[in-house]
Structure 1
Amino acid sequence: MNYQAFAALYDTLMEDAPYDKWIDYLRLQLNQQQFTNLSILDVGCGTGELLVRLQEEGADTVGVDLSLEMLSVAKEKCEQKGFSPPLFHQSMTDLEGLGTFEVVTIFCDSLNYLETEEEVYRTFESVHRHLQEDGLFLFDVHSLKKIEEGFIGQTFAEDGADLAYIWTSFEGDYPHSVEHELTFFIRDESHGYYERMLELHKQRTFPVKQYTDWLMEAGFSDIVVHSDFTSASPTEQSERIFFTARKKIKG
Protein backbone atom coordinates (compact mmCIF):
# COMPACT_ATOMS: atom_id res chain seq x y z
CA MET A 1 0.00 0.00 0.00
CA ASN A 2 1.44 3.33 -1.07
CA TYR A 3 0.24 6.56 0.54
CA GLN A 4 2.95 8.84 -0.82
CA ALA A 5 0.65 10.73 -3.15
CA PHE A 6 -2.55 9.71 -1.44
CA ALA A 7 -1.69 11.28 1.93
CA ALA A 8 -1.60 14.81 0.53
CA LEU A 9 -4.93 14.28 -1.23
CA TYR A 10 -6.69 12.27 1.44
CA ASP A 11 -8.42 15.14 3.22
CA THR A 12 -9.72 16.51 -0.07
CA LEU A 13 -11.17 13.14 -1.02
CA MET A 14 -12.58 12.62 2.48
CA GLU A 15 -14.01 16.08 3.01
CA ASP A 16 -17.54 14.65 3.25
CA ALA A 17 -16.56 11.80 5.59
CA PRO A 18 -18.79 11.70 8.71
CA TYR A 19 -16.02 12.12 11.29
CA ASP A 20 -18.43 13.63 13.81
CA LYS A 21 -20.56 10.49 13.58
CA TRP A 22 -17.59 8.37 14.69
CA ILE A 23 -17.20 10.66 17.70
CA ASP A 24 -20.93 10.43 18.46
CA TYR A 25 -20.81 6.64 18.17
CA LEU A 26 -17.85 6.48 20.56
CA ARG A 27 -19.69 8.70 23.01
CA LEU A 28 -22.75 6.44 22.77
CA GLN A 29 -20.67 3.35 23.59
CA LEU A 30 -19.15 5.17 26.56
CA ASN A 31 -22.66 5.89 27.85
CA GLN A 32 -22.29 9.61 27.16
CA GLN A 33 -19.16 9.75 29.34
CA GLN A 34 -17.12 12.93 29.03
CA PHE A 35 -13.86 12.50 27.11
CA THR A 36 -11.90 14.73 29.52
CA ASN A 37 -8.65 12.95 30.53
CA LEU A 38 -9.83 9.74 28.87
CA SER A 39 -6.83 7.88 27.43
CA ILE A 40 -7.46 6.86 23.82
CA LEU A 41 -5.17 5.12 21.34
CA ASP A 42 -6.33 5.85 17.78
CA VAL A 43 -4.91 3.14 15.52
CA GLY A 44 -4.82 3.94 11.81
CA CYS A 45 -5.13 7.61 12.71
CA GLY A 46 -4.42 8.74 9.15
CA THR A 47 -4.25 12.51 8.78
CA GLY A 48 -5.52 13.08 12.32
CA GLU A 49 -9.11 14.18 11.80
CA LEU A 50 -10.38 12.06 14.70
CA LEU A 51 -7.35 12.90 16.83
CA VAL A 52 -8.14 16.60 16.58
CA ARG A 53 -11.78 16.08 17.51
CA LEU A 54 -10.93 13.84 20.46
CA GLN A 55 -8.35 16.30 21.74
CA GLU A 56 -10.80 19.17 21.46
CA GLU A 57 -13.13 17.08 23.64
CA GLY A 58 -10.37 16.84 26.26
CA ALA A 59 -9.14 13.28 25.68
CA ASP A 60 -5.50 12.26 26.13
CA THR A 61 -4.72 10.77 22.73
CA VAL A 62 -1.98 8.82 21.00
CA GLY A 63 -1.99 8.14 17.27
CA VAL A 64 -0.54 5.24 15.30
CA ASP A 65 -0.33 4.77 11.55
CA LEU A 66 1.63 2.70 9.06
CA SER A 67 2.15 5.69 6.76
CA LEU A 68 4.83 8.25 7.59
CA GLU A 69 3.23 10.60 5.08
CA MET A 70 -0.13 10.39 6.87
CA LEU A 71 1.54 10.98 10.23
CA SER A 72 3.31 14.04 8.87
CA VAL A 73 -0.03 15.53 7.84
CA ALA A 74 -1.55 14.60 11.22
CA LYS A 75 1.32 16.23 13.12
CA GLU A 76 0.94 19.50 11.23
CA LYS A 77 -2.83 19.47 11.60
CA CYS A 78 -2.72 18.86 15.34
CA GLU A 79 -0.06 21.51 15.91
CA GLN A 80 -2.18 24.06 14.04
CA LYS A 81 -4.90 23.33 16.61
CA GLY A 82 -2.46 23.70 19.50
CA PHE A 83 -2.01 19.99 20.24
CA SER A 84 1.05 17.76 20.10
CA PRO A 85 -0.13 14.18 20.71
CA PRO A 86 2.46 11.38 20.53
CA LEU A 87 2.40 9.87 17.03
CA PHE A 88 3.96 6.50 16.25
CA HIS A 89 4.90 4.81 13.00
CA GLN A 90 3.84 1.20 13.59
CA SER A 91 1.77 -1.58 12.08
CA MET A 92 -1.48 -2.32 13.88
CA THR A 93 -0.54 -6.01 13.81
CA ASP A 94 2.54 -5.40 15.96
CA LEU A 95 1.89 -2.51 18.33
CA GLU A 96 4.54 -2.27 21.01
CA GLY A 97 5.77 0.01 23.76
CA LEU A 98 2.81 2.37 23.74
CA GLY A 99 1.53 1.77 27.27
CA THR A 100 -2.07 0.91 28.10
CA PHE A 101 -5.24 2.85 27.41
CA GLU A 102 -8.85 3.02 28.51
CA VAL A 103 -10.01 2.97 24.89
CA VAL A 104 -8.50 1.80 21.60
CA THR A 105 -10.15 2.69 18.30
CA ILE A 106 -9.60 1.53 14.73
CA PHE A 107 -12.13 3.59 12.79
CA CYS A 108 -12.71 4.65 9.18
CA ASP A 109 -12.50 0.98 7.97
CA SER A 110 -8.73 0.98 8.57
CA LEU A 111 -8.92 -2.66 9.65
CA ASN A 112 -10.07 -3.58 6.13
CA TYR A 113 -6.56 -2.95 4.83
CA LEU A 114 -5.45 -6.20 6.47
CA GLU A 115 -5.55 -8.98 3.88
CA THR A 116 -5.18 -12.18 5.88
CA GLU A 117 -6.95 -13.85 8.79
CA GLU A 118 -3.65 -13.99 10.69
CA GLU A 119 -3.15 -10.21 10.39
CA VAL A 120 -6.60 -9.46 11.79
CA TYR A 121 -6.18 -11.85 14.72
CA ARG A 122 -2.69 -10.51 15.48
CA THR A 123 -4.16 -7.00 15.51
CA PHE A 124 -6.79 -8.02 18.05
CA GLU A 125 -4.07 -9.55 20.24
CA SER A 126 -1.96 -6.42 19.80
CA VAL A 127 -4.84 -4.16 20.83
CA HIS A 128 -5.62 -6.41 23.79
CA ARG A 129 -2.08 -5.94 25.13
CA HIS A 130 -2.49 -2.16 25.00
CA LEU A 131 -5.81 -1.97 26.82
CA GLN A 132 -6.26 -1.53 30.52
CA GLU A 133 -8.36 -4.19 32.22
CA ASP A 134 -12.03 -3.51 31.50
CA GLY A 135 -10.94 -1.19 28.65
CA LEU A 136 -12.95 -0.85 25.44
CA PHE A 137 -11.93 -1.69 21.88
CA LEU A 138 -14.03 -0.13 19.10
CA PHE A 139 -13.64 -0.59 15.35
CA ASP A 140 -15.66 -0.59 12.17
CA VAL A 141 -15.38 -2.50 8.90
CA HIS A 142 -17.08 -2.62 5.53
CA SER A 143 -19.90 -5.14 5.33
CA LEU A 144 -19.83 -8.00 2.84
CA LYS A 145 -22.50 -6.17 0.85
CA LYS A 146 -20.44 -2.97 0.71
CA ILE A 147 -17.39 -4.79 -0.65
CA GLU A 148 -19.24 -7.00 -3.13
CA GLU A 149 -21.96 -4.64 -4.35
CA GLY A 150 -20.86 -1.16 -3.34
CA PHE A 151 -17.28 -1.41 -4.60
CA ILE A 152 -16.51 -4.34 -6.90
CA GLY A 153 -17.18 -3.42 -10.51
CA GLN A 154 -17.86 0.23 -9.68
CA THR A 155 -16.16 3.34 -11.03
CA PHE A 156 -16.17 6.71 -9.27
CA ALA A 157 -14.89 9.96 -10.72
CA GLU A 158 -14.48 13.62 -9.83
CA ASP A 159 -13.45 16.49 -12.08
CA GLY A 160 -12.30 19.57 -10.20
CA ALA A 161 -10.30 22.58 -11.24
CA ASP A 162 -7.14 21.52 -9.41
CA LEU A 163 -7.79 17.82 -8.82
CA ALA A 164 -9.48 15.14 -10.86
CA TYR A 165 -9.53 11.42 -10.25
CA ILE A 166 -10.86 8.13 -11.57
CA TRP A 167 -11.43 5.41 -8.99
CA THR A 168 -12.12 1.91 -10.30
CA SER A 169 -12.71 -1.09 -8.04
CA PHE A 170 -12.00 -4.70 -9.00
CA GLU A 171 -12.51 -8.05 -7.30
CA GLY A 172 -9.47 -8.92 -5.19
CA ASP A 173 -7.48 -12.12 -4.81
CA TYR A 174 -9.18 -13.13 -1.55
CA PRO A 175 -12.85 -13.80 -0.76
CA HIS A 176 -14.73 -10.58 0.07
CA SER A 177 -11.81 -8.42 -1.07
CA VAL A 178 -11.48 -5.49 -3.45
CA GLU A 179 -8.68 -3.63 -5.18
CA HIS A 180 -9.11 0.11 -5.67
CA GLU A 181 -7.17 1.54 -8.59
CA LEU A 182 -6.97 5.32 -8.31
CA THR A 183 -5.66 7.64 -10.99
CA PHE A 184 -5.17 11.26 -9.91
CA PHE A 185 -4.63 14.30 -12.12
CA ILE A 186 -3.21 17.12 -10.01
CA ARG A 187 -2.75 20.63 -11.35
CA ASP A 188 0.78 22.01 -11.15
CA GLU A 189 0.09 25.74 -10.84
CA SER A 190 3.69 26.75 -11.51
CA HIS A 191 3.78 25.01 -14.89
CA GLY A 192 0.09 25.01 -15.82
CA TYR A 193 -0.24 21.27 -16.49
CA TYR A 194 -1.66 18.26 -14.68
CA GLU A 195 0.54 15.61 -13.09
CA ARG A 196 -0.73 12.03 -13.23
CA MET A 197 -0.37 9.79 -10.16
CA LEU A 198 -1.42 6.18 -9.63
CA GLU A 199 -2.36 4.41 -6.38
CA LEU A 200 -3.49 0.85 -5.66
CA HIS A 201 -5.32 0.09 -2.41
CA LYS A 202 -6.51 -3.34 -1.30
CA GLN A 203 -9.25 -4.03 1.23
CA ARG A 204 -10.85 -7.16 2.60
CA THR A 205 -13.65 -7.90 5.04
CA PHE A 206 -14.98 -10.96 6.86
CA PRO A 207 -18.36 -12.18 8.16
CA VAL A 208 -19.49 -10.73 11.49
CA LYS A 209 -19.22 -14.11 13.22
CA GLN A 210 -15.60 -14.43 12.17
CA TYR A 211 -14.72 -11.10 13.76
CA THR A 212 -16.56 -11.97 16.98
CA ASP A 213 -14.87 -15.39 17.18
CA TRP A 214 -11.42 -13.77 16.80
CA LEU A 215 -12.27 -11.19 19.45
CA MET A 216 -13.24 -13.88 21.95
CA GLU A 217 -10.12 -15.92 21.17
CA ALA A 218 -7.99 -12.81 21.75
CA GLY A 219 -9.45 -12.32 25.24
CA PHE A 220 -12.37 -9.94 24.72
CA SER A 221 -15.88 -10.19 26.14
CA ASP A 222 -19.15 -8.22 26.11
CA ILE A 223 -18.99 -7.97 22.33
CA VAL A 224 -21.65 -5.73 20.81
CA VAL A 225 -22.26 -5.36 17.07
CA HIS A 226 -24.04 -2.40 15.47
CA SER A 227 -24.44 -0.99 11.98
CA ASP A 228 -24.14 2.29 10.14
CA PHE A 229 -23.40 4.57 13.13
CA THR A 230 -26.58 3.47 14.93
CA SER A 231 -27.41 1.16 17.83
CA ALA A 232 -29.27 -1.15 15.44
CA SER A 233 -28.07 -4.68 14.75
CA PRO A 234 -26.63 -5.36 11.29
CA THR A 235 -28.87 -6.55 8.48
CA GLU A 236 -28.09 -7.79 4.98
CA GLN A 237 -28.46 -4.18 3.80
CA SER A 238 -25.97 -2.68 6.28
CA GLU A 239 -22.86 -1.08 4.79
CA ARG A 240 -20.65 -0.40 7.81
CA ILE A 241 -20.40 -2.76 10.77
CA PHE A 242 -19.31 -1.52 14.22
CA PHE A 243 -17.86 -3.66 17.00
CA THR A 244 -17.39 -2.81 20.67
CA ALA A 245 -15.55 -5.30 22.90
CA ARG A 246 -14.25 -5.19 26.46
CA LYS A 247 -10.98 -6.56 27.78
CA LYS A 248 -11.78 -9.16 30.40
CA ILE A 249 -10.88 -8.44 34.00
CA LYS A 250 -8.46 -11.01 35.39
CA GLY A 251 -9.53 -13.12 38.31
Structure 2
Amino acid sequence: MGAYLEFARVYDEFMDNVDYNEWCSFAIKLLKKNGMENCNLVEIGCGTGSATMLFAKAGYSMTGIDISQEMLEIAMDKKNDEDIIYVLQDATELELPCKVPAMVSVGDSMNYITEYEDIVKVFKQVKKYLEEDGVFVFDLKTRKYFSDIGDSVIAEDREDNSFIWENYFDEETSINEYYLSIFVQGDDGRYDKFEEQHYQKGYTLDEIKTAVAEAGLTVSEIYEAFTDNVGSEQNDRVYFIVKNGEK
Protein backbone atom coordinates (compact mmCIF):
# COMPACT_ATOMS: atom_id res chain seq x y z
CA MET A 1 0.00 0.00 0.00
CA GLY A 2 1.47 3.33 -1.02
CA ALA A 3 2.02 6.03 1.58
CA TYR A 4 0.86 9.60 1.22
CA LEU A 5 3.85 11.93 1.51
CA GLU A 6 3.47 15.68 1.00
CA PHE A 7 -0.27 15.26 0.41
CA ALA A 8 -0.55 14.37 4.08
CA ARG A 9 0.11 18.03 4.89
CA VAL A 10 -3.07 19.17 3.13
CA TYR A 11 -5.06 15.91 3.13
CA ASP A 12 -7.66 16.96 5.71
CA GLU A 13 -8.28 20.28 3.99
CA PHE A 14 -8.95 18.70 0.61
CA MET A 15 -11.03 15.93 2.20
CA ASP A 16 -13.38 18.36 3.95
CA ASN A 17 -16.17 17.32 1.56
CA VAL A 18 -16.00 13.71 2.77
CA ASP A 19 -18.72 12.70 5.21
CA TYR A 20 -16.68 10.71 7.74
CA ASN A 21 -19.73 10.65 10.00
CA GLU A 22 -21.70 8.76 7.36
CA TRP A 23 -18.85 6.31 6.70
CA CYS A 24 -18.32 5.61 10.40
CA SER A 25 -21.98 5.63 11.43
CA PHE A 26 -22.74 2.92 8.88
CA ALA A 27 -19.72 0.84 9.94
CA ILE A 28 -20.76 1.22 13.59
CA LYS A 29 -24.29 0.14 12.70
CA LEU A 30 -22.90 -3.05 11.14
CA LEU A 31 -20.54 -3.66 14.07
CA LYS A 32 -23.37 -3.32 16.58
CA LYS A 33 -25.61 -5.53 14.47
CA ASN A 34 -22.98 -8.21 14.98
CA GLY A 35 -22.62 -7.68 18.71
CA MET A 36 -19.53 -5.46 18.61
CA GLU A 37 -20.12 -2.48 20.90
CA ASN A 38 -17.79 -0.62 23.31
CA CYS A 39 -14.99 -3.08 22.58
CA ASN A 40 -11.40 -3.03 21.38
CA LEU A 41 -11.43 -2.07 17.69
CA VAL A 42 -8.51 -2.00 15.24
CA GLU A 43 -8.78 0.32 12.24
CA ILE A 44 -6.72 -0.66 9.20
CA GLY A 45 -5.65 2.31 7.07
CA CYS A 46 -6.52 4.97 9.62
CA GLY A 47 -4.77 7.83 7.78
CA THR A 48 -4.95 11.12 9.67
CA GLY A 49 -7.30 9.64 12.26
CA SER A 50 -10.52 11.45 11.32
CA ALA A 51 -12.53 8.21 11.35
CA THR A 52 -10.55 6.77 14.26
CA MET A 53 -11.61 9.64 16.49
CA LEU A 54 -15.27 9.11 15.57
CA PHE A 55 -15.05 5.41 16.45
CA ALA A 56 -13.43 6.36 19.77
CA LYS A 57 -16.19 8.86 20.52
CA ALA A 58 -18.70 6.09 19.83
CA GLY A 59 -17.20 4.09 22.72
CA TYR A 60 -14.58 1.90 21.07
CA SER A 61 -11.03 1.50 22.40
CA MET A 62 -9.12 2.25 19.21
CA THR A 63 -5.88 1.11 17.63
CA GLY A 64 -5.18 2.85 14.32
CA ILE A 65 -2.87 1.15 11.82
CA ASP A 66 -1.36 2.95 8.83
CA ILE A 67 1.68 2.63 6.58
CA SER A 68 2.24 6.40 6.32
CA GLN A 69 4.31 7.97 9.07
CA GLU A 70 3.29 11.42 7.82
CA MET A 71 -0.39 10.59 8.17
CA LEU A 72 0.09 9.15 11.65
CA GLU A 73 2.00 12.24 12.82
CA ILE A 74 -1.01 14.35 11.85
CA ALA A 75 -3.35 11.88 13.58
CA MET A 76 -1.29 12.16 16.77
CA ASP A 77 -1.42 15.97 16.62
CA LYS A 78 -5.23 15.87 16.30
CA LYS A 79 -5.68 13.49 19.21
CA ASN A 80 -7.03 14.91 22.46
CA ASP A 81 -8.04 12.58 25.29
CA GLU A 82 -9.51 9.87 23.07
CA ASP A 83 -8.63 6.24 23.86
CA ILE A 84 -6.48 5.72 20.75
CA ILE A 85 -3.16 4.03 20.01
CA TYR A 86 -1.55 4.68 16.62
CA VAL A 87 0.86 2.17 15.07
CA LEU A 88 3.02 2.42 11.95
CA GLN A 89 2.51 -0.88 10.11
CA ASP A 90 1.92 -2.41 6.70
CA ALA A 91 -1.43 -4.22 6.89
CA THR A 92 0.09 -7.23 5.08
CA GLU A 93 2.38 -7.64 8.10
CA LEU A 94 -0.16 -6.75 10.78
CA GLU A 95 1.00 -7.57 14.30
CA LEU A 96 -0.98 -6.97 17.47
CA PRO A 97 -0.11 -7.76 21.10
CA CYS A 98 -3.29 -9.80 21.48
CA LYS A 99 -6.41 -10.87 19.64
CA VAL A 100 -9.27 -8.39 19.33
CA PRO A 101 -13.03 -8.83 18.85
CA ALA A 102 -13.35 -6.47 15.88
CA MET A 103 -11.54 -4.67 13.08
CA VAL A 104 -12.69 -1.99 10.65
CA SER A 105 -11.49 -0.19 7.53
CA VAL A 106 -13.30 2.73 5.90
CA GLY A 107 -12.54 5.24 3.17
CA ASP A 108 -11.63 2.54 0.59
CA SER A 109 -8.28 1.85 2.25
CA MET A 110 -8.56 -1.77 1.12
CA ASN A 111 -8.59 -0.63 -2.52
CA TYR A 112 -4.99 0.53 -2.05
CA ILE A 113 -3.95 -3.12 -1.75
CA THR A 114 -3.53 -3.65 -5.49
CA GLU A 115 -2.16 -7.21 -5.62
CA TYR A 116 -4.50 -10.13 -5.00
CA GLU A 117 -1.76 -11.99 -3.10
CA ASP A 118 -1.36 -9.02 -0.78
CA ILE A 119 -5.05 -8.70 0.01
CA VAL A 120 -5.03 -12.41 0.90
CA LYS A 121 -2.09 -11.65 3.23
CA VAL A 122 -4.10 -8.90 4.90
CA PHE A 123 -7.06 -11.21 5.43
CA LYS A 124 -4.74 -13.89 6.84
CA GLN A 125 -3.35 -11.40 9.37
CA VAL A 126 -6.89 -10.33 10.23
CA LYS A 127 -7.73 -14.00 10.78
CA LYS A 128 -4.66 -14.39 13.02
CA TYR A 129 -5.63 -11.51 15.31
CA LEU A 130 -9.42 -11.74 15.35
CA GLU A 131 -11.02 -13.55 18.25
CA GLU A 132 -13.23 -16.53 17.50
CA ASP A 133 -16.46 -15.13 16.02
CA GLY A 134 -14.72 -11.77 15.66
CA VAL A 135 -15.88 -9.33 12.99
CA PHE A 136 -14.09 -7.31 10.31
CA VAL A 137 -16.14 -4.56 8.63
CA PHE A 138 -14.64 -2.78 5.63
CA ASP A 139 -15.75 -0.79 2.62
CA LEU A 140 -14.63 -0.94 -1.01
CA LYS A 141 -15.08 1.18 -4.07
CA THR A 142 -16.32 -1.17 -6.79
CA ARG A 143 -14.87 -1.72 -10.22
CA LYS A 144 -17.91 0.11 -11.59
CA TYR A 145 -16.99 3.21 -9.59
CA PHE A 146 -13.51 3.39 -11.11
CA SER A 147 -14.76 2.55 -14.59
CA ASP A 148 -17.35 5.32 -14.44
CA ILE A 149 -14.72 7.88 -13.46
CA GLY A 150 -12.37 6.62 -16.16
CA ASP A 151 -9.84 9.14 -17.45
CA SER A 152 -10.61 12.47 -15.83
CA VAL A 153 -9.06 15.47 -14.11
CA ILE A 154 -10.09 17.11 -10.84
CA ALA A 155 -8.60 20.42 -9.70
CA GLU A 156 -9.18 22.43 -6.55
CA ASP A 157 -7.79 25.82 -5.61
CA ARG A 158 -7.85 26.89 -1.98
CA GLU A 159 -6.52 30.01 -0.25
CA ASP A 160 -3.14 28.53 0.71
CA ASN A 161 -2.86 25.47 -1.52
CA SER A 162 -4.26 23.70 -4.54
CA PHE A 163 -4.00 20.40 -6.35
CA ILE A 164 -4.54 18.78 -9.73
CA TRP A 165 -5.74 15.16 -9.60
CA GLU A 166 -5.37 13.24 -12.87
CA ASN A 167 -7.18 9.92 -12.96
CA TYR A 168 -6.57 6.95 -15.28
CA PHE A 169 -8.34 3.58 -15.13
CA ASP A 170 -7.01 0.49 -16.90
CA GLU A 171 -9.98 -1.70 -17.81
CA GLU A 172 -7.74 -4.77 -18.31
CA THR A 173 -5.91 -4.70 -14.98
CA SER A 174 -8.63 -2.86 -13.00
CA ILE A 175 -5.89 -0.59 -11.66
CA ASN A 176 -6.78 3.04 -11.09
CA GLU A 177 -3.89 5.53 -11.11
CA TYR A 178 -3.96 8.94 -9.45
CA TYR A 179 -1.36 11.52 -10.39
CA LEU A 180 -1.30 14.33 -7.84
CA SER A 181 0.29 17.73 -8.37
CA ILE A 182 0.15 19.64 -5.10
CA PHE A 183 0.94 23.32 -4.64
CA VAL A 184 1.52 24.49 -1.05
CA GLN A 185 2.08 28.13 -0.13
CA GLY A 186 5.10 28.73 2.09
CA ASP A 187 5.67 31.43 4.69
CA ASP A 188 7.35 33.58 2.03
CA GLY A 189 4.19 33.53 -0.10
CA ARG A 190 5.72 31.37 -2.81
CA TYR A 191 4.27 27.99 -3.75
CA ASP A 192 6.15 24.69 -3.57
CA LYS A 193 5.08 21.96 -5.98
CA PHE A 194 4.97 18.30 -4.98
CA GLU A 195 4.05 15.36 -7.17
CA GLU A 196 2.77 11.99 -6.07
CA GLN A 197 1.37 8.87 -7.70
CA HIS A 198 -1.15 6.51 -6.10
CA TYR A 199 -2.83 3.28 -7.16
CA GLN A 200 -6.09 1.58 -6.26
CA LYS A 201 -7.58 -1.71 -7.47
CA GLY A 202 -11.17 -2.20 -8.53
CA TYR A 203 -11.82 -5.70 -7.21
CA THR A 204 -14.92 -7.67 -8.10
CA LEU A 205 -17.02 -8.92 -5.21
CA ASP A 206 -16.19 -12.50 -6.18
CA GLU A 207 -12.47 -11.76 -5.99
CA ILE A 208 -12.89 -10.47 -2.46
CA LYS A 209 -15.05 -13.44 -1.48
CA THR A 210 -12.40 -15.82 -2.80
CA ALA A 211 -9.59 -13.98 -0.98
CA VAL A 212 -11.57 -14.00 2.28
CA ALA A 213 -12.22 -17.75 1.97
CA GLU A 214 -8.55 -18.41 1.12
CA ALA A 215 -7.60 -16.73 4.39
CA GLY A 216 -9.97 -18.95 6.38
CA LEU A 217 -12.56 -16.26 7.05
CA THR A 218 -16.23 -16.08 6.07
CA VAL A 219 -18.15 -13.36 4.24
CA SER A 220 -21.28 -12.92 6.31
CA GLU A 221 -23.00 -10.10 4.42
CA ILE A 222 -22.37 -7.45 1.77
CA TYR A 223 -24.29 -4.17 1.77
CA GLU A 224 -24.66 -1.31 -0.63
CA ALA A 225 -23.08 1.59 1.23
CA PHE A 226 -25.39 3.41 3.66
CA THR A 227 -28.44 1.26 2.85
CA ASP A 228 -29.99 -2.05 3.87
CA ASN A 229 -29.74 -3.29 0.27
CA VAL A 230 -27.65 -6.31 -0.63
CA GLY A 231 -24.39 -5.11 -2.19
CA SER A 232 -23.74 -5.74 -5.87
CA GLU A 233 -21.35 -4.90 -8.70
CA GLN A 234 -23.76 -2.14 -9.70
CA ASN A 235 -23.06 -0.13 -6.55
CA ASP A 236 -20.31 2.47 -6.28
CA ARG A 237 -19.32 1.46 -2.76
CA VAL A 238 -20.06 -1.64 -0.72
CA TYR A 239 -19.47 -2.72 2.87
CA PHE A 240 -18.34 -6.26 3.71
CA ILE A 241 -18.99 -8.02 7.00
CA VAL A 242 -16.39 -10.74 7.43
CA LYS A 243 -16.33 -13.16 10.38
CA ASN A 244 -13.77 -15.44 11.94
CA GLY A 245 -16.14 -18.37 12.05
CA GLU A 246 -19.39 -19.43 10.48
CA LYS A 247 -22.02 -16.96 9.27
Return the TM-score normalized by structure 2: 0.92
1:28 offset after TM fit, Å?
2.0
Aligned CA distance change for structure 1 residues 229 and 60 (closer, same or farther; 3 Å): same
Q: Does 1:110 align with 2:109?
A: yes
1:144-175 CA distance string (max 9 Å, x none): 1111122x201101112211111001135961
Q: Does 1:55 align with 2:40?
A: no
2:152 corresponds to: 154
Write the letter of the residue equivalent to 1:12. Answer: E
Aligned CA distance change for structure 1 residues 243 and 77 (closer, same or farther; 3 Å): same
1:236 offset after TM fit, Å?
4.6
2:198 corresponds to: 201
2:126 corresponds to: 127
1:84 offset after TM fit, Å?
5.3
Question: Once superposed, which parts of structure 1, at least 4 consecutive aligned residues long, lie more than 6 Å away?
Answer: none
2:162 corresponds to: 164
Query: What is the alpha-carbon distance in structure 2 between the residues aligned to residue 230 and residue 84 of structure 1?
Result: 29
Identity of aligned residues (%): 26
1:17 corresponds to: 18
Q: Is the 8 A contact 2:40 2:101 kept in 1?
A: yes
Range 89-98 or range 169-178, more displaced: 169-178
Q: Is the 8 A contact 2:175 2:202 kept in 1?
A: yes
Question: Helix, strand or coil: the match of 2:151?
Answer: coil
Aligned CA distance change for structure 1 residues 20 and 95 (closer, same or farther; 3 Å): same
Write the letter of the residue equivalent to 2:206. Answer: K
1:216 corresponds to: 213
Return the TM-score normalized by structure 1: 0.91
Q: How many residues align?
A: 244
Range 106-115 or range 82-91, more displaced: 82-91
Question: Helix, strand or coil: the match of 2:191?
Answer: strand
Range 229-238 or range 160-169, more displaced: 229-238
Write the letter of the residue equivalent to 1:200. Answer: Q
Write the letter of the residue equivalent to 2:22. Answer: K
Question: Helix, strand or coil: the match of 1:129?
Answer: helix
2:75 corresponds to: 74
2:188 corresponds to: 191
Write the letter of the residue equivalent to 1:199. Answer: E
Question: Helix, strand or coil: the match of 1:104?
Answer: strand
Question: Helix, strand or coil: the match of 1:86?
Answer: strand
1:7 corresponds to: 8
1:225 corresponds to: 222
Q: Is the 8 A contact 2:209 2:219 kept in 1?
A: no
Query: What is the alpha-carbon distance in structure 2 between the residues aligned to residue 131 and residue 34 of structure 1?
Result: 12
